[in-house]
DNA sequence: CGTCGTGCTTGACACTGACAAGTGTAACGC
DNA sequence: GCGTTACACTTGTCAGTGTCAAGCACGACG
């Protein structure tokens, strides 16, 4: 019987994660089968299931990486050195989704992920925190407010619609900027 | 060889569509297998593929129905008899997605649909038209403007995030209303 | 009475995720 | 040295899936 929590020190899990990312990028979410990942990584067909428990476990690990990268993207200071403003933040969010559409799609597909995974939960919380921090006037942490949630929903909506061709990819920045202008208009 | 376009007069296709909707509602998108649908409809395992070409064809037919229902929901006049305003429209859109989350999810999953299907394309266009008509000051048809697209993206974002538990279902109406207030604030 | 097409079924294949059991190997006690 | 044990996988197998070719019943038509 495989151990409940195999150590991550060796190269199997990282190698499988790399292979899964490559499959995801090349063939989309449907192409990420345990066996295809195993073939690409040059291991036996059951190795991924051993290393990650099951398919949901593998996808969860991939999605966790995605959330970490998204949070890092948002935390990055702007060229000016100052924290990014709302429009810049939205553009980055959408750009991330457009750069890795299959990964972004996977991140928001809880039916295929292990929702109770601790790493996933914390990475998800970290990315929401990065967004919250930048949409509060004081730049501090705290529970997301209405403006944060509306901004998130808008960015997610633009990213999702663009990812599936419902919106032209060239229109996304204008929509994000238009929304930011709405928000900053004094009521 | 099955004919390219089997007639829709008999009961096979409607029966399979009903079965597919039931599978979708009960077990989510992953539960809609051609064989499960066939079992539920009481036909042979290959009948769905015969009737719809392949799995994508069946899902496309289901999604097409979904777009038709969504458009009908939005076109419905409000209790007052007047066309729905932006907030009401958004609430209806999100409510539709929450009433049939698996169907809504399927409708925005082009990787599993036959994107070039004429019925799907026209149903999709009709639902966008219903939304456009109600977000233009003159209530006329025409290409969707920036406000329409931003509103759509917001509604889609709220619906998607709520469907997967990222937002509490109880918060969606407040977000939609908050957005509508932003839009109606004179700049 | 044949024969022909239509509408669906039967049968098969390759592929998938999951599981049980096997295999090699390194570490450890003696 | 040797036996035992734990680990890190691999091998083998099973049920389920989508797809395709072939078969079959049956009514229409000559």
Q: B17-21, B91-95, B183-187: lowest mean pLDDT where?
A: B183-187
Of A109, A149, A165, nearest to B110 by CB-CB distance is: A165
pLDDT of residue B146: 93
Q: pLDDT per residue over A40-97, tens digit each?
A: 999 999 999 999 999 999 999 999 999 999 999 999 988 888 878 999 999 999 999 9
pLDDT of residue B9: 44
Which positions of strand C lie within 7 Å of protein CB atoms? 6-12, 15-20
* Topology classification of domain A64-184: Tetracycline Repressor; domain 2 (1.10.357)
- Domain B63-184 maps to which CATH number in 3.40.50.800, 1.10.357.10, 1.10.645.10, 3.30.1360.10? 1.10.357.10
pLDDT of residue B80: 87
- The mean pLDDT of chain A is 91
**What is the pTM for the complete model shown?**
0.90
% of chain A residues with pLDDT over 90? 78
Of B30, B149, B165, nearest to A167 by CB-CB distance is: B149
Band (pLDDT 50/70/90 cuts) for residue A185 is confident
Q: Do B150 and A175 touch (CB under 8 A)?
A: yes
What angle is formed at CA B91 by the lines to CA B90 and CA B96, rounded to 5 degrees?
A: 100
A120: tokens are: 């996933």
A113 pLDDT exceeds 70?
yes
The CB-based long-range contact list for B32-37 (8 Å cut-off, 24+ gap) reads B32/B58, B32/B59, B32/B62, B34/B58
B168 pLDDT exceeds 80?
yes
Please state whether A114 falls in left (phi above 0), alpha (psi between -120 and 50) or beta: beta
Which positions of strand D lie within 7 Å of protein CB atoms? 7-13, 16-21
pLDDT of residue B186: 63
Mean pLDDT across A99-111 = 95
A36: tokens are: 């295809």
One-letter-per-residue 3-state SS of A97-121: HHHCHHHHHHHCCHHHCCCCCHHHH
Contacts of B115 in chain A (CB under 8 A): 165
Q: Could you state, in order of their start, the residue ranges of all structural domains in chain A?
A: 1-53, 64-184
* Topology classification of domain B1-53: Arc Repressor Mutant, subunit A (1.10.10)
Q: pLDDT per residue over B32-57, tens digit each?
A: 999 999 999 999 999 999 999 999 99
Q: Do A156 and B152 touch (CB under 8 A)?
A: no
Q: Do A166 and B108 touch (CB under 8 A)?
A: yes
């Amino acid at each position: 019987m495989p151990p409940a929590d195999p150590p991550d020190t060796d190269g199997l899990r990282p190698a499988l994660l790399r292979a899964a990312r490559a499959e995801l990028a090349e063939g989309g979410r449907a192409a990420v089968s345990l066996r295809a990942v195993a073939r690409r990584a040059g291991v036996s067909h059951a190795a991924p299931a051993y290393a990650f428990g099951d398919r949901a476990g593998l996808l969860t690990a991939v999605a966790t990486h995605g959330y970490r990268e998204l949070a890092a993207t948002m935390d990055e200071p702007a060229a000016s050195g100052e924290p990014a403003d709302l429009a810049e933040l939205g553009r980055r969010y959408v750009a991330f989704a457009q750069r890795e559409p299959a990964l972004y799609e996977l991140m928001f597909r809880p039916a295929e992920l292990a929702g109770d995974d601790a790493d996933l939960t914390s990475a998800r919380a970290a990315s929401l925190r990065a967004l919250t921090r930048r949409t509060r006037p004081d730049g501090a942490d705290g529970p997301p407010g209405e403006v944060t949630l509306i901004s998130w929903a808008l960015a997610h909506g633009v990213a999702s619609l663009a990812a599936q061709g419902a919106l032209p990819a060239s229109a996304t920045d204008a929509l994000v900027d238009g929304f930011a202008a709405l928000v900053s208009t004094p009521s």
